[in-house]
Every structure is written in C-alpha cells, then in structure tokens.
Amino acid sequence: MTLYAWIGEDELGSGQIGLKQALVPAGYIPLVSLKREKIDRPEIIGQLQMQASFYGKTIRLVAFELQEGTLVELTP
C-alpha cells in the first residue's frame, strides 16, 4: 500500500516540514491520499504552485510505502 502526500517547509521559516493543504469544495483539506489521482489534479497543483512561488518554499509530492504491518490496532 502506498500513501501519497504533498509536504513542504512551514511558510514562516521554522524549518519544520508538514502536510500542505488545498481548498476543495469541502473546504481546506490536508493533501494525503491512498490514491495519487485524488491529490495531483491540475487545480490542486495550481494552488500549490502559487504557495511555492509566494513563499519561496519547495513543495514535494512524496510516496510512503508500507513496510510493516499494523503497529497499533484500535478496537471499539
């Protein structure tokens, strides 16, 4: 299983890396998905390009590949 996420440095220059967000019809959402095509649509990429240009920070689409099974299992 692969988890896709847009990440980048905090706009205020703290040096911390975090998830990027974009505005979609449901509001602002963190850009993480199991399906790449959900978060690399042109309208999302356009928003991220504007953020990168405005703040001068690189934003990357990264893929995290599951290497282990469940680390914690929560049950009701």
Domain residues for 34?
A: 2-65
Q: Is 59 contained in some domain? A: yes
pTM exceeds 0.85, yes or no? no
61 burial type by CB count under 10 A (0-12 exposed, 13-18 middle, 19+ buried): middle
Residue 30 lies in a domain: yes
Does residue 71 sit within a domain?
Answer: no
Domain count within the chain? 1
**Short-list 74, 40, 35, CA closest to 60:** 40
In a domain, 74, yes or no: no
Instruction: Tell me if 75 is assigned to some domain.
Output: no
| pLDDT values of the chain reduced to their tens digit, one per residue, 76 residues | 899 999 999 888 788 999 999 998 889 999 999 999 999 999 999 999 999 999 999 999 999 998 777 667 777 7
